[in-house]
Amino acid sequence: MATLDDHSQATPTGPMTTVIRRHSLATRLTHWVNVLCLSLLLMSGLQIFNAHPALYWGQYGADADPSWLSISAVEEDGGTRGVLRIGNLQITTTGILGVSGTGDDATERGFPSWLTIPSYQDLATGRRWHLFFAWLFVINGSIYALIGFLSGHFRRDLAPSSEEISPHHLGQEIADHARLRFPKGEKARRYNVLQKLAYLIVIFILLPLMFATGLTMSPGIDAGYPFLLDLFGGRQSARSIHFICAWSIVLFVFVHVAMVILSGLWNNMRSMITGRYVIETERDDR
C-alpha cells in the first residue's frame, strides 16, 4: 500500500483529508479477475455437484453409501419436499434446494437453475466452464503471488506483528468490528489484523486446498500422482474438502462485501478501481 502520491487538504478548523494510493495496479487487476473467476467457478461447481448432490468421506461414494451431506427430493403424500441433510439434521428447503420452484414449476434439483452454469442440467458443459476458469484463476493467482512476494506486499501489508496477534489486541479488534467501529485516521492506512488473518487464511490455506483437492478428483491426475489420494483420504474426501473450502470462501466474500459497504462503499470501491483511498486525519494525529 504505497503512499508516494499522498495528497492532503485541510480546512482551517476541520480534519485533514489525505488521499493515499492503497492498492497497486497489479492488485486491482488480479482482484477483478478473481471476482469473475470465483463467480463462474461457484456456479459451474454447483452444476457439477447437482449431478450427484451428496458428499462422503473416505473411499465411499456409491448411491447406497452413507453420506454426511445430501440435497434431495422426498416424495410425501402432500407432494415432493426438498431436504438438506447434514449428518442427522434434516432441514426442509423446498423451493430452493432439492426442489426448485413451487406448484407446477417445481423441479427436482440440488441447487436451483439460477445458481448454476449452464442453467439446465449439463454435467459436461459445467465441467468445461469449471476447468477453464479454474486454470485462469490459478494463473491469475500465481501472478498475484509472484508480485506479492517480489514487491514485499505480503511481508509489508499482510504479515501481522506479534502485538497485533496478542489476545488483548485481537479481542479489541473483534469488539470494534462487532460495534461497526472501523479504523480512522492514520490507522486506516493499513489493514487491521482481522483483515490480515482473513486474507492469509484464504490465500495460503483455502485456495491451495481448493487447487490440490480439485486435482485429486481427476482420475488422470491420480494416475500420475497417486499420493494425492493418500494425502486426502480418497477422492470422495477430496470432494468434501473442496466443497467445504468453496463455501468457506463464499462466506469470506459475503463478510468482505458487508465490511466494504459498512465502512464506506464509495471510498472502498474507488480504491479498488483507481487505487486512491481517502482518509480523514485530525491535526494532532499528523
Highest mean pLDDT among 22-31, 36-45, 155-164: 36-45
Instruction: Flag whether pLDDT at 283 surpasses 60.
Output: no
Cβ atoms of 18 and 277 within 8 Å: the answer is: no
Instruction: Flag whether pLDDT at 5 surpasses 70.
Output: no
User: pLDDT tens digits, residue range 156-201?
Assistant: 989 999 999 999 999 999 999 899 888 887 788 888 999 999 999 9
- Model's pTM, two decimal places? 0.88
Architecture of the structural domain at 7-53+112-285: Up-down Bundle (1.20)
Q: Where in the chain is the domain with CATH 1.20.950.20?
A: 7-53+112-285
Burial class of residue 100, CB neighbours in 10 A (0-12, 13-18, 19+) = buried
Instruction: Flag whether pLDDT at 3 surpasses 50.
Output: no
Instruction: Flag whether pLDDT at 104 surpasses 60.
Output: yes
Which three three-digit cell numbers place residue 52?
A: 450427484
Q: Which residues pair with 70 in a beta bridge?
A: 54, 85
Half-sphere exposure of 6 (CA within 13 A, CB side): 13
Which comes out higher in pLDDT, residue 78 or 73? 73
* 3-class DSSP state of 277: strand
Question: Which segments of the chain are extended strands (E)?
Answer: 7-10, 16-21, 54-55, 69-76, 79-86, 89-92, 98-100, 107-109, 276-281
Instruction: Flag whether pLDDT at 286 surpasses 90.
Output: no
Report d(CA 205, CA 254) in Å as an integer: 18
